[in-house]
Amino acid sequence: MRKAGFFTVILTVCMLLLVANVFAANPPLELDIEALQEQEGKGNVHIFTAAGYNDYVLQMGNIGDYHCLGEIDLSKYDTVTIRYGADQGAQFYDDEKSAWFALTKNGPTTDGAYNPIEDVEIIAQVNLENPYGNWAVADNEVVMELDTDYNGVVYLALTMAKIGDRQDGVAITEIIFSDSSYVPPTPEPTEEPSPTPDPTDTPVPTKTAEESTKGESSNITPIIVASIVGVVVIAAIVIVLVMLRKKKQD
């Protein structure tokens, strides 16, 4: 009995931990790129129609560009995915150096002459990949790993790399913070729609009020007849019994 009770306690604790873990998970946070117009920074938030974009992008095309993303509790997430487009011939890395994104607490990573800013507080960073396709046609993404309890104002900075005679920028289309333990809720099943009647099917004729009344009357008639016959038979029996009794008395 003690062993069974011990296993019951262990099972209960495991279930509670599982439930706590599920409820602790956080749904993804996708930033509204258009709303970033209200934040400080050197990034250009606009609809980049010349490059084929129909929605707002955060364009970073200058050395030392950065942009505020607002206040974010990074302890809720373990990755951030950044999707971007660029010129088809862009070069973001070679054997010696690479362009990279960084999340910081206080702004840009370099000044306008590629000089590192010494007091920048970098939270996380990731190197850029060379683009596939040209600007809006491109579908590039990098995933930055997060391991921090920081909760406050977050900046996104682009550290550009001068490769050959190029120093390429990007147009950011999506910024999504994610918690890998989050499991989306299962959608409720929808009811099957009623089948549409086939116009070729022969419709079932409906009874008119007269036909319906007539049918009901015909069903009731045998019952009434049977009841009358029963009453007559019983009355006849009663009369016979009364006459026999009277005759016996005489």
- Write down the mean pLDDT value for the chain: 81
* Least reliable range by pLDDT among 58-62, 77-81, 241-245: 241-245
- DSSP per-residue letters across 191-207: PPPPPPPPTTSPPPPPP
pLDDT tens sequence across 215-225: 444 444 445 54
What's the token pair of residue 167? 């120093």
Other C-beta atoms within 10 Å of 230: how many? 10
pLDDT tens sequence across 60-73: 999 999 999 999 99
pLDDT tens sequence across 105-143: 999 999 988 899 999 999 999 999 988 889 999 889 999
Please indicate, yes or no, if residue 185 is contained in any of the structural domains.
no
- The answer, yes or no, to whether residue 16 has pLDDT greater than 50, is no
Please indicate, yes or no, if residue 35 is contained in any of the structural domains.
yes
pLDDT at 132: 81
Higher pLDDT pick, 56 / 241:
56
Give residue 10's pLDDT band: very low, low, confident or very high (50, 70, 90).
very low
Q: 3-state DSSP call for residue 142?
A: strand
- The answer, yes or no, to whether residue 233 has pLDDT greater than 60, is no
Please indicate, yes or no, if residue 71 is contained in any of the structural domains.
yes
pLDDT at 118: 94
**CATH classification of the domain holding 154:** 2.60.120.260
- The answer, yes or no, to whether residue 17 has pLDDT greater than 70, is no
Please indicate, yes or no, if residue 189 is contained in any of the structural domains.
no
Please indicate, yes or no, if residue 3 is contained in any of the structural domains.
no
What's the token pair of residue 208? 């008119």
Please indicate, yes or no, if residue 86 is contained in any of the structural domains.
yes
- Residue 67 · residue 133 · CB < 8 Å: no
Q: Which amino acid is at 136?
A: A
Please indicate, yes or no, if residue 227 is contained in any of the structural domains.
no
pLDDT at 189: 78
* Least reliable range by pLDDT among 116-120, 143-147, 193-197: 193-197
Number of structural domains found in the chain? 1
Return d(Cα 53, Cα 85) in angstroms, integer: 10
- Residue 143 · residue 71 · CB < 8 Å: no
Give residue 211's pLDDT band: very low, low, confident or very high (50, 70, 90).
very low
pLDDT tens sequence across 150-186: 999 999 999 999 888 889 999 999 999 999 999 988 8
Please indicate, yes or no, if residue 18 is contained in any of the structural domains.
no
**DSSP assigned state of 88:** T
Give strand ranges (E) for 38-150. 44-47, 56-60, 66-73, 79-85, 100-104, 122-127, 140-145
- The answer, yes or no, to whether residue 53 has pLDDT greater than 70, is yes
% of residues, the chain, pLDDT over 90: 55
Range of the domain at 50: 23-178
- Residue 182 · residue 26 · CB < 8 Å: yes
Other C-beta atoms within 10 Å of 81: how many? 16
pLDDT at 159: 96
HEC-encoded secondary structure of 146-159? CCCCCEEEEEEEEE
User: pTM for the full model?
Assistant: 0.68
